[in-house]
Protein backbone atom coordinates (compact mmCIF):
# COMPACT_ATOMS: atom_id res chain seq x y z
CA UNK A 1 0.00 0.00 0.00
CA UNK A 2 1.34 3.49 -0.73
CA UNK A 3 2.49 5.66 2.16
CA UNK A 4 -0.34 8.20 1.93
CA UNK A 5 -3.05 5.53 2.09
CA UNK A 6 -1.26 3.84 4.95
CA UNK A 7 -1.15 7.15 6.88
CA UNK A 8 -4.88 7.65 6.28
CA UNK A 9 -5.71 4.10 7.38
CA UNK A 10 -3.63 4.09 10.53
CA UNK A 11 -4.44 7.57 11.91
CA UNK A 12 -6.31 7.42 15.20
CA UNK A 13 -7.35 10.07 17.70
CA UNK A 14 -4.87 10.27 20.57
CA UNK A 15 -6.19 11.28 24.00
CA UNK A 16 -3.15 10.68 26.20
CA UNK A 17 0.05 12.65 25.61
CA UNK A 18 3.58 12.61 26.94
CA UNK A 19 5.27 15.91 27.86
CA UNK A 20 7.47 15.81 24.75
CA UNK A 21 6.90 18.97 22.74
CA UNK A 22 6.43 19.01 18.96
CA UNK A 23 9.56 20.56 17.40
CA UNK A 24 9.40 23.90 15.60
CA UNK A 25 10.38 22.13 12.38
CA UNK A 26 7.57 19.55 12.63
CA UNK A 27 5.03 22.17 13.66
CA UNK A 28 5.94 24.22 10.57
CA UNK A 29 5.49 21.18 8.34
CA UNK A 30 2.07 20.51 9.91
CA UNK A 31 0.98 24.14 9.48
CA UNK A 32 2.20 24.11 5.87
CA UNK A 33 0.01 21.04 5.29
CA UNK A 34 -2.93 22.93 6.86
CA UNK A 35 -2.68 25.86 4.46
CA UNK A 36 -2.42 23.44 1.49
CA UNK A 37 -5.98 22.23 2.14
CA UNK A 38 -8.68 22.96 -0.41
CA UNK A 39 -10.97 25.89 0.34
CA UNK A 40 -14.21 27.01 -1.29
CA UNK A 41 -13.46 29.44 -4.16
CA UNK A 42 -9.84 29.24 -2.97
CA UNK A 43 -10.64 32.11 -0.57
CA UNK A 44 -8.44 30.64 2.20
CA UNK A 45 -10.36 32.70 4.77
CA UNK A 46 -8.89 30.83 7.71
CA UNK A 47 -6.43 31.39 10.50
CA UNK A 48 -4.25 28.91 12.37
CA UNK A 49 -3.16 29.73 15.90
CA UNK A 50 -0.61 27.26 17.27
CA UNK A 51 -0.10 27.43 21.04
CA UNK A 52 2.86 25.72 22.72
CA UNK A 53 2.78 27.75 25.92
CA UNK A 54 1.42 25.52 28.71
CA UNK A 55 0.19 28.43 30.92
CA UNK A 56 -1.80 29.88 28.03
CA UNK A 57 -3.43 26.51 27.33
CA UNK A 58 -4.45 26.23 30.99
CA UNK A 59 -5.95 29.74 30.83
CA UNK A 60 -7.84 28.83 27.66
CA UNK A 61 -9.17 25.63 29.25
CA UNK A 62 -10.32 27.69 32.28
CA UNK A 63 -12.23 30.09 30.00
CA UNK A 64 -13.90 27.13 28.25
CA UNK A 65 -14.82 25.65 31.64
CA UNK A 66 -16.34 28.96 32.78
CA UNK A 67 -18.47 29.04 29.63
CA UNK A 68 -19.54 25.43 30.20
CA UNK A 69 -20.45 26.23 33.82
CA UNK A 70 -22.94 28.86 32.60
CA UNK A 71 -24.68 26.44 30.24
CA UNK A 72 -28.01 24.64 30.75
CA UNK A 73 -26.55 21.40 29.42
CA UNK A 74 -25.87 19.05 32.41
CA UNK A 75 -22.82 17.42 30.74
CA UNK A 76 -21.27 20.81 29.99
CA UNK A 77 -22.06 21.99 33.53
CA UNK A 78 -20.31 18.96 34.98
CA UNK A 79 -17.22 19.69 32.88
CA UNK A 80 -17.38 23.35 33.87
CA UNK A 81 -17.28 22.50 37.58
CA UNK A 82 -14.73 19.69 37.36
CA UNK A 83 -11.24 20.29 38.78
CA UNK A 84 -9.66 17.78 36.44
CA UNK A 85 -11.40 18.41 33.10
CA UNK A 86 -8.95 19.31 30.36
CA UNK A 87 -10.54 19.52 26.92
CA UNK A 88 -7.18 19.21 25.11
CA UNK A 89 -5.98 16.18 27.14
CA UNK A 90 -2.87 18.10 28.31
CA UNK A 91 -1.39 17.90 24.81
CA UNK A 92 1.70 20.12 24.57
CA UNK A 93 0.47 21.83 21.37
CA UNK A 94 -2.96 23.03 20.34
CA UNK A 95 -3.75 24.45 16.91
CA UNK A 96 -6.90 26.56 16.81
CA UNK A 97 -8.53 26.66 13.39
CA UNK A 98 -10.76 29.67 12.84
CA UNK A 99 -12.53 31.00 9.78
CA UNK A 100 -14.70 33.91 8.71
CA UNK A 101 -17.79 33.77 10.92
CA UNK A 102 -20.18 34.89 8.20
CA UNK A 103 -18.91 32.58 5.45
CA UNK A 104 -20.96 29.44 4.73
CA UNK A 105 -17.71 27.89 3.46
CA UNK A 106 -15.85 28.15 6.75
CA UNK A 107 -16.97 24.89 8.44
CA UNK A 108 -15.95 22.82 5.40
CA UNK A 109 -12.72 24.76 4.76
CA UNK A 110 -11.63 24.40 8.37
CA UNK A 111 -12.53 20.68 8.45
CA UNK A 112 -10.37 20.09 5.35
CA UNK A 113 -7.48 21.95 6.98
CA UNK A 114 -7.90 19.98 10.21
CA UNK A 115 -7.75 16.66 8.39
CA UNK A 116 -4.56 17.78 6.66
CA UNK A 117 -3.16 18.62 10.11
CA UNK A 118 -4.06 15.16 11.47
CA UNK A 119 -2.59 13.33 8.49
CA UNK A 120 0.59 15.43 8.38
CA UNK A 121 1.04 14.83 12.11
CA UNK A 122 0.54 11.07 11.70
CA UNK A 123 3.09 11.00 8.87
CA UNK A 124 5.62 12.56 11.27
CA UNK A 125 4.87 10.11 14.11
CA UNK A 126 2.89 12.77 16.02
CA UNK A 127 -0.47 12.00 17.63
CA UNK A 128 -3.49 14.25 17.25
CA UNK A 129 -7.13 14.68 18.14
CA UNK A 130 -9.93 17.01 17.04
CA UNK A 131 -10.91 19.18 20.01
CA UNK A 132 -14.39 20.63 19.62
CA UNK A 133 -14.98 22.50 22.87
CA UNK A 134 -13.60 25.87 21.78
CA UNK A 135 -15.89 25.82 18.75
CA UNK A 136 -18.80 25.18 21.12
CA UNK A 137 -17.91 28.07 23.43
CA UNK A 138 -16.27 30.68 21.19
CA UNK A 139 -19.39 32.87 21.18
CA UNK A 140 -19.24 33.24 24.97
CA UNK A 141 -18.23 36.87 25.68
CA UNK A 142 -15.25 35.98 27.93
CA UNK A 143 -13.96 33.27 25.60
CA UNK A 144 -14.35 35.63 22.65
CA UNK A 145 -12.43 38.42 24.38
CA UNK A 146 -9.62 35.96 25.21
CA UNK A 147 -9.44 34.73 21.60
CA UNK A 148 -9.25 38.25 20.19
CA UNK A 149 -7.18 40.03 22.83
CA UNK A 150 -4.80 37.30 24.02
CA UNK A 151 -4.54 35.04 20.96
CA UNK A 152 -4.91 37.56 18.14
CA UNK A 153 -7.70 35.69 16.35
CA UNK A 154 -9.42 38.10 13.91
CA UNK A 155 -12.54 39.65 15.49
CA UNK A 156 -14.75 38.58 12.58
CA UNK A 157 -13.59 34.95 12.80
CA UNK A 158 -15.09 32.00 14.66
CA UNK A 159 -13.41 28.80 15.85
CA UNK A 160 -14.47 25.72 13.86
CA UNK A 161 -12.21 23.18 15.52
CA UNK A 162 -8.84 22.62 17.15
CA UNK A 163 -6.13 19.99 16.84
CA UNK A 164 -4.32 18.66 19.91
CA UNK A 165 -0.83 17.56 18.93
CA UNK A 166 1.84 15.60 20.76
CA UNK A 167 3.27 12.16 21.34
CA UNK A 168 1.28 9.16 22.54
CA UNK A 169 3.00 7.10 25.27
CA UNK A 170 5.13 4.35 23.70
CA UNK A 171 3.05 1.59 25.32
CA UNK A 172 -0.30 2.89 24.01
CA UNK A 173 -2.08 0.10 22.17
CA UNK A 174 -3.15 0.92 18.61
CA UNK A 175 -6.92 1.17 18.64
CA UNK A 176 -8.84 -1.12 16.31
CA UNK A 177 -11.57 0.76 14.51
CA UNK A 178 -14.64 -0.96 13.19
CA UNK A 179 -15.84 0.76 10.04
CA UNK A 180 -19.61 1.23 9.82
CA UNK A 181 -21.02 -0.91 7.07
CA UNK A 182 -23.33 0.13 4.24
CA UNK A 183 -22.00 3.68 4.01
CA UNK A 184 -20.58 3.38 0.49
CA UNK A 185 -22.50 3.14 -2.76
CA UNK A 186 -20.70 2.79 -6.09
CA UNK A 187 -22.80 3.26 -9.19
CA UNK A 188 -21.22 2.34 -12.50
C1 LIG B 1 -16.32 17.18 14.15
C2 LIG B 1 -15.53 16.33 15.12
C3 LIG B 1 -15.51 16.69 16.46
C4 LIG B 1 -14.76 15.92 17.37
N5 LIG B 1 -14.65 16.35 18.66
C6 LIG B 1 -13.89 15.66 19.52
C7 LIG B 1 -13.66 16.15 20.83
O8 LIG B 1 -14.10 17.23 21.21
N9 LIG B 1 -12.90 15.40 21.68
C10 LIG B 1 -12.39 14.19 21.30
O11 LIG B 1 -11.74 13.53 22.12
N12 LIG B 1 -12.55 13.71 20.05
C13 LIG B 1 -13.27 14.43 19.15
N14 LIG B 1 -13.40 13.98 17.86
C15 LIG B 1 -12.74 12.73 17.44
C16 LIG B 1 -13.73 11.58 17.21
O17 LIG B 1 -14.27 11.17 18.43
C18 LIG B 1 -12.95 10.43 16.50
O19 LIG B 1 -12.48 10.87 15.27
C20 LIG B 1 -13.84 9.20 16.29
O21 LIG B 1 -14.21 8.64 17.52
C22 LIG B 1 -13.14 8.12 15.45
O23 LIG B 1 -11.92 7.72 16.07
P24 LIG B 1 -10.50 7.88 15.34
O25 LIG B 1 -10.27 9.36 15.08
O26 LIG B 1 -9.50 7.31 16.32
O27 LIG B 1 -10.52 7.10 14.06
C28 LIG B 1 -14.09 14.74 16.93
C29 LIG B 1 -14.11 14.41 15.57
C30 LIG B 1 -14.80 15.20 14.67
C31 LIG B 1 -14.75 14.86 13.21
Stated length of the chain: 188
Cα–ligand 1 centroid distance for 132 (angstroms): 8
Q: Distance between alpha carbon 49 and the CA centroid of its chain, in Å?
A: 10
User: C-alpha angle 160/161/165, rounded to 5°?
Assistant: 155
Please name the residue whose Cα sits nearest to atom 7 of ligand 1.
Answer: 131
Q: Assign 21 a pLDDT band (cuts: 50, 70, 90).
A: very high
| Cβ within 8 Å of residue 103, ≥6 positions away | 40, 43, 45, 109
Ligand 1 atom nearest residue 15's Cα: 11
Q: What is the pLDDT of residue 6?
A: 96
Torsional class of 90: left (φ above 0), alpha (ψ -120 to 50), beta (otherwise)? left
Tell me what pLDDT residue 107 has.
98
Say whether pLDDT at 155 is over 90. yes
Query: What's the average model confidence in pLDDT over 109-113?
Result: 98
Pocket test for ligand 1, best of 130, 138, 168 (most atoms within 8 A of CB): 130
% the chain with pLDDT above 90: 96
Ligand 1 center to residue 15 CA distance, Å? 10
Tell me the mean pLDDT in the region 129-142.
Answer: 96
Do 60 and 146 contact (CB within 8 A), yes or no? yes
Could you tell me the domains of the chain? 3-166 (3.40.109.10)
Cβ atoms of 110 and 46 closer than 8 Å: yes
Give residue-wise pLDDT tens across range 74-93.
Answer: 999 999 999 999 999 999 99
Question: Stretch 177-184: mean pLDDT, rounded?
Answer: 95
**Residue 75 confidence (pLDDT):** 94
Please report the pLDDT score of residue 118 as a whole number. 98
Pocket-forming residues, ligand 1, beta carbon under 6 Å: 12-13, 15, 129-133, 175, 177
Ligand 1 centre to CA of 188 (Å) is 33
Residue 173: predicted pLDDT:
87
Q: Rounded to a whole number, what is the largest CA-CA distance in the chain? A: 55
Residue nearest to atom 30 of ligand 1 (CA): 130
pLDDT class for 168, splitting at 50, 70, 90?
A: very high
Portion of the chain with pLDDT greater than 70, in percent: 100
Mean pLDDT score across all residues of the chain? 97
Amino acid sequence: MNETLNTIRTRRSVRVYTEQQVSAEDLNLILEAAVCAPSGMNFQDWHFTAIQKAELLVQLNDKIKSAFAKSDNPQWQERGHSNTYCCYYHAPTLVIVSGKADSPLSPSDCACALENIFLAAKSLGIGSCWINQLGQTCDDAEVRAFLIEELGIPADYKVFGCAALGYAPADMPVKERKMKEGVVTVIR
